[in-house]
Amino acid sequence: MNKRIATVQVVENIHAINDAQAEKLRARLDAAGVHGINLMSAPGSGKTTLIEATLRGLAGELAVAVIDGDIATTIDADRAAAAGAVAAVQINTGGNCHLEANMLAPALDRLDLAAIDLLIVENVGNLICPANFAIGTHHNVVIASAPEGWDKPYKYPGIFTGADVVLVTKWDAADFFEFDLERFSTGVRALNRDVMILPLSAKTGEGMDAWLGWLTKNDKEQVTKAI
């Protein structure tokens, strides 16, 4: 038996099983009228800080629940709850470097989906494998922070290829870190021609209106004009 072929088949089966589970989760969200987004980035890009600012910005407009995936701790879910999430559930992956659909199912069981408009899933900080595992959400939001540099779409093409929105966080620090938005955008657009690229800062609030506008209206044209 050819060992290499056997390995490839196992990987294909894992993805097929995951995709089928993700479809079931999406059906649950659809039935409850919940918009689900999968927030992906490297560690330290400001995902949790952005979630906090998003929760404050959407207060009184949308009921938002947050599911946080981390290898350990409940720090991020605690922060989301403190910032106004109607519910915050932590998934500890026990070492796994990405979320998979089967990990989300018990987390959804703990949410009152009928009372939620928007579900933000904060994936494990990692720019590689989270892109390969659907988790039942409707949109992929990929974050690259200005301090990380302009080269991320060139080094991690997979995650940018599947993005519906690309956020450049910590935009207030872009000059200091000499972030080259043109080279970054060129790299993103080579992979994903029409994706929205939004520079923003949770700290100063710059760009937050466009981000919140996309979340509330899902209006691509309006967001593009706002930038």
Residue ranges in contact with Zn ion by CB under 5 A? 97-98, 129
Token pair listed for 28:
């649950």
For residue 60, give Cα distances in angstroms to 51, 52, 55, 64, 117: 16, 14, 10, 10, 12
Among 76, 100, 148, 164, binds Mg ion (CB under 5 A): 76
Q: How many distinct helices (H) and strands (E) make up the chain?
A: 9, 7
What strand order describes the sheet that includes 165-169? 87-92, 64-70, 118-122, 35-41, 139-145, 165-169, 196-199
Q: Least distance from C-beta 190 to Mg ion, angstroms?
A: 28
* Separation of alpha carbons 149 and 170, rounded Å: 11
Interface of this chain with Mg ion, residues 31 to 60, rule: CB under 5 A: 47-48
Stretch that binds Mg ion, among 31-39, 76-84, 109-117, 197-205 (CB under 5 A): 76-84
Contact present, 37 and 139 (Cβ < 8 Å) = yes
Choose from Zn ion, Mg ion, none: what does 129 bind? Cβ within 5-8 Å by kind.
Zn ion
Q: How far is the CB of 48 from Mg ion (least distance, A)?
A: 3
Q: Which does 173 bind (CB under 5 to 8 A by kind): Zn ion, Mg ion, none?
A: none
Q: How far is the CB of 211 from Zn ion (least distance, A)?
A: 26
**Minimum CB distance to Mg ion, residue 5 (Å):** 38
Residue ranges in contact with Mg ion by CB under 5 A: 47-48, 76
